[in-house]
Amino acid sequence: MPSISELLYDLGLKDRIVGTTKFCIHPEESEQSKRIGGTKNPKIKTISELQPDLVIANKEENRKEDIDMLSVSFNVYVSDISDVNSTFAMFRQIGTLTNTSKVVEELIQEIKEAWNCLPKPIAKAKVLYAIWKKPWMFAGNDTYIHHFLDHLGLENVLQQKRYPVLEMDEIKALSPDFLFLSSEPYPFKSKDADELKKLLPSASILLVDGEAFSWYGSRMKHCTPYIKQLMTELT
């Protein structure tokens, strides 16, 4: 998991990390680690050759069959993230497993203090958060993204679960105040905003940093200046 790999580095564990996915891009030095494939197609043979003491996975991003296979030979910790509180619980569990609990508590406190200083919108603006095109997919009400928006004082107008596909008439009917086009997993561009502006002429359509809204790890600290600036623009 890219977000958890970054967390491990920020906990001071870089000398103990033997492998990361090809999507683990933060910090830059993580790209020097052994690549063990992607989140959906890990190289089981390579992982076995590395003989890790601990494999860290995620319930949503990694496949159950891969986790089950690795669990036969290795100690596997599977994170299950749904909101900010479960993220902090994951921090503490990893802190216990890696003997970094003191650093974890300091990081959690730093994040909480930074987030307490974020500006809040005067009214709870309605937001629709896009993650994919062809088909158009959006973040539903049981995702980390939904809970992060709520934490910022924003309302996710989509009340369906997971990441539903919506048709153009369904998007229009939701009538959001803001439409966020994420930089990942689909790299939305200005031309996509122009396309949707015709559908939602009264909405403000913004290209947003997907890492800030969906990476649940120490990226929560690193993205604070960006989120602060974004919230200032929305208030």
The residue among 62, 81, 111 that closes a domain is 111
- What predicted TM-score, i.e. pTM, was given to this entire model? 0.91
Burial track 180-196 (b if 16+ CB lie within 10 A, e otherwise): bbbbbebebeeebbeeb
- 148 and 187 in a single domain? The answer is yes
- As a whole number of angstroms, the distance between CA 10 and CA 14 comes to 8
Tell me what pLDDT residue 1 has.
Answer: 86
Q: Are 100 and 187 contained in the same domain?
A: no
**Cα–Cα separations (whole angstroms), residue 112 to 102, 108, 117, 151, 185:** 16, 6, 9, 11, 27
Q: What is the pLDDT of residue 217?
A: 93
Whether residue 103 is found in the same domain as residue 148: no
Per-residue pLDDT, 31? 75
**8 plus 107 within the same structural domain:** yes
| pLDDT for 124 | 84
pLDDT, one tens digit per residue, over 122-181 is 778 999 999 999 999 999 999 999 999 999 999 999 999 999 999 999 999 999 999 999
Q: Are residues 107 and 130 in the same domain?
A: no
Indicate whether 117 belongs to any domain. Answer: no
Q: Predicted confidence band at 120 (pLDDT cuts at 50, 70, 90)?
A: confident
- Note whether residue 63 is domain-resident: yes
pLDDT score for 111? 96
Exposed e or buried b for every residue in 115-124, given b needs 16+ CB within 10 A? beeebeeeee
Domain match, 13 and 105 both:
yes
71 and 20 fall within a common domain = yes
Q: pLDDT digits over 180-230, tens only?
A: 999 999 999 999 999 999 999 999 999 999 999 999 999 999 999 999 999
Predicted pLDDT at 233: 85
Residues 33 and 106 in one domain: yes
99 lies in the same domain as 135: no
Residue range(s) defining the domain that contains residue 150: 126-234
Q: Which helix (H) or strand (E) holds 35?
A: strand 34-35
Task: Assess if residue 120 is contained within a domain.
Answer: no
Same domain? For 68 and 147 the reply is no
Identify whether 180 is part of a domain: yes
Query: Domain end: 69, 84, 111, which one?
Result: 111
CATH number, residue 155: 3.40.50.1980
Q: Which two tokens stand for residue 1?
A: 């998991």
Task: Look at residue 119 and tell me if it is in a domain.
Answer: no
**Hey, what are 109's tokens?**
């406190």
Q: Are residues 152 and 193 in the same domain?
A: yes
Q: What is the pLDDT of residue 167?
A: 97
Range of lowest pLDDT (32-41, 70-79, 179-188): 32-41
Residues 204 and 139 in one domain: yes
pLDDT per residue as tens digits for the range 83-93:
999 999 999 99
User: Is residue 16 domain-resident?
Assistant: yes
Number of domains in the chain: 2
